[in-house]
Amino acid sequence: MTILPVIPISPDQPDTVLTRRRPSMPPRHLADLDLAARKAAVTALGEPAFRAKQLSTHYFGRLVRDIDEMTDLPAASRARLTGDLLPTLLTPVRELACDDGATRKTLWRLHDGALVESVLMGYPDRITACVSSQAGCGMACPFCATGQQGLTRNLSIAEIVDQVVYLAGVSASGAVTGSPPRLSRVVFMGMGEPLANYPRVIEAVRRLTTPAPEGLGLSQRHITVSTVGLVPAMRRLIAEELNVTLALSLHAPDDDLRDELVPVNQRWKVAEVLDAAFDYAARTGRRISIEYALIRDVNDQPWRADLLGRILRGKLAHVNLIPLNPTPGSKWDASPKPVEREFVRRLREAGVATTVRDTRGREIDGACGQLAAGELTEASAGGAADAGVAR
């Protein structure tokens, strides 16, 4: 593991990691607005309308997030525009790298002290950004580190988009060796339940997929929204005419167990959630991804593989098995490899496409809110949460 240099927390900023403030939404940022609203905002500040496009080209086209680097803007304009359109939303607390630099994780502090994380994963043919949609999460899945923290607040559109623009900049700098420099995929699999922050997540997706300079110009198909299965929001997504990939965190094929592993199942049952997911697949023609964290002796029995196979057979779906990443203090562990192999074999035998997710970033608590959870534990234990210190 490499600890990357981070910008130190400046002494004039209160140590919001240790003294938690009341959560509040951040100031407005240009990524919250579409191009027309940006034009209105710059003219309201007494600047010519063309500045909106100029700022947008820097931010979305050249991935410049700091107004001081936009040197073709007069200094007076920069001073006028920064507070209203380019406030700092994300301050890095830690940056960690592993897998020879192919996986990089950033822990961010937001303006109110809330912590969120983003992960960049480089592969030979692509780079994927994994971003957070909420600080904390209200879904309370017992195996998930973020689920244990509860919900702090929704992220704003710009707080979501800015994670991606930052990671696209890191990619473009060539920092991810062995991968192409262009960030091409985004997965909403960081902290939070994206569909519980529905309007902002949808707007963020629009911003990410609108061509530059209005947005980042990514392909809708290369964006994955992952959900515990909030059925009304899934139905709304069907009506949205967006061709994003939908991932459903199923984790159990039966209501008895899913009621425990994904508590929202007590409200929307397996059959209802799958119905909505299959309708999404039918509308978009895109295969849905069924996420299934394999937990030793909990959901990894051969009969559950067979039941899952029967439910998914012939559907536009594939299963993505995730070896459980045990959270600190949890009673649960990943399934042994032979059990995992048997689970895969049975699903494939049933005709269901199945993959096992790689365990990227384990060393750096790569998944599921563990870095932020560690930070909170240290903070509440009175430990130093200083930047750049290995845990």
| Contact residues for ligand SAH, defined by CB under 6 A | 139, 141, 143-144, 189, 193, 226-228, 249, 291, 293, 322, 324-325, 327, 367-368
Query: What are the residues whose beta carbons fall under 8 Å from the beta carbon of 201, sequence distance 6 or more?
Result: 133, 160, 188, 194, 195, 225
- Residue placing its CB nearer to ligand SAH in the complex, 97 or 187: 187
Q: Judge whether 250 is annotated as a binding position.
A: yes
**Closest listed residue to residue 317, CA positions, set 345, 277, 283, 284:** 277
Angle at alpha carbon of residue 325, lines to 324 and 331, rounded to 5°: 80
Please confirm, yes or no, whether 117 is among the known catalytic residues.
yes
- Residue placing its CB nearer to ligand SAH in the complex, 255 or 333: 333
CB of 368 to ligand SAH, least distance (A): 4
Q: Judge whether 325 is annotated as a binding position.
A: yes
- Residue placing its CB nearer to ligand SAH in the complex, 96 or 334: 334
| Torsion sign (Cα): 229, 235, 236, 241 | positive
**Amino acid letter at 322?**
I
The number of C-alpha atoms within 13 Å of 312 and in the hemisphere containing its C-beta is 34
CB of 287 to ligand SAH, least distance (A): 16
> Residue-wise over 109-140: b if at least 16 C-beta within 10 A, else e?
bbbbbbbbbbbbbbeeeebbbbbbbbbbbbbb
Of 47, 117, 203, 291, the catalytic one is: 117
CB of 243 to ligand SAH, least distance (A): 19
Write down the number of H helices and E strands in the chain.
12, 13
CB of 372 to ligand SAH, least distance (A): 13
Cβ–Cβ < 8 Å for 307, 258: no
Give CA–CA dist 260/275, Å, rounded: 20
- Residue placing its CB nearer to ligand SAH in the complex, 163 or 226: 226
Of 130, 159, 368, 375, the catalytic one is: 368
**β-pair partners for 364:** none
Helix (H) or strand (E) holding 221: none
- Residue placing its CB nearer to ligand SAH in the complex, 106 or 325: 325
Q: Judge whether 251 is annotated as a binding position.
A: yes
Helices (H), the chain: 35-44, 50-56, 75-85, 145-149, 157-172, 198-209, 231-239, 255-261, 270-284, 302-312, 337-349, 370-380
CB of 388 to ligand SAH, least distance (A): 25
> CB count, 10 Å around CB of 50?
10
Q: What is the DSSP letter of 200?
A: H
CB of 322 to ligand SAH, least distance (A): 4
CB of 148 to ligand SAH, least distance (A): 10
- Residue placing its CB nearer to ligand SAH in the complex, 81 or 144: 144
Give CA–CA dist 149/137, Å, rounded: 7
> CB count, 10 Å around CB of 278?
16
Q: Judge whether 193 is annotated as a binding position.
A: yes
Q: Judge whether 137 is annotated as a binding position.
A: yes
- Residue placing its CB nearer to ligand SAH in the complex, 228 or 237: 228
Please confirm, yes or no, whether 130 is among the known catalytic residues.
no
Annotated binding site for S-adenosyl-L-methionine: 192-193, 226, 249-251, 325
Pick out the residues of the known binding site: 137, 141, 144, 192-193, 226, 249-251, 325
Q: Which residues are annotated as a binding site for [4Fe-4S] cluster?
A: 137, 141, 144
Name the residues annotated as catalytic.
Answer: 117, 368
